[in-house]
Homo-oligomer: A and B are copies of this chain.
Amino acid sequence: MQVAKDTRQRGSADPMSCEGDEQGHPRPLGQDRYTISEVAEFTGLSAHTLRWYERIGLMPHVDRSHTGQRRFTNRDLDWLALVGKLRLTGMPVADMVRYAELVRAGDHTYPQRQALLEATRTDVLQRIAELQDTLSVLDHKISTYAGARCAPERTA
């Protein structure tokens, strides 16, 4: 399990790549091969989590050094950035795995991927609306407390 030569260098972030063209990371190093701990520090995920993501298929298979250590590319970093965004939306990991599978399956899954993202988009819009609603509730209560003239409600 630790003999996978350092093969092809997967041309770094070419500006026309489709998965992972988000907004160009600060690119912590000029390099295109990061160790797991570099990626951990950079993404805020733990090394454990990164390995786990790979195990469950949420990462495309990551390159290995000649001794079997993971070497992440800029493309991997971009993918992780997308995953991070999707995670913020509350999308379950299983759904992200499904999306990753579609990506792995090839170009012919474009329509499904688009549909999935559009569903997510709808979701996000709704969540934003909910939060704004919540915000107004909070503001209301805060102003009540600010003008602290309020009957003792439920306190015996």
Contact = CB atoms under 8 A, between A and B. Distances in A.
Contacts of A89: 131, 134
A135 B146 contact: no
A111 to B, nearest CB: 8
Nearest to A76: B154
Given A131-B131, A138-B120, A151 B22 contact: no
Q: Most chain-B Cβ atoms within 10 A of its Cβ — which of A10, A79, A154? A: A154
A110 B145 contact: yes
Contacts of A18: 144, 150-153
B154 A114 contact: no
Interface string A7-22: 0001000101111111
A127 interface: yes
Interface in A1-45: 10, 14, 16-23
A56 interface: no
B150 A16 contact: yes
Given A105-B155, A154-B75, A134 B124 contact: yes
A137 B60 CA distance: 20
Interface string A122-156: 00110110111111011111101110101111110
Given A60-B154, A154-B103, A134 B88 contact: yes
B135 A125 contact: yes
A105 B156 CA distance: 9
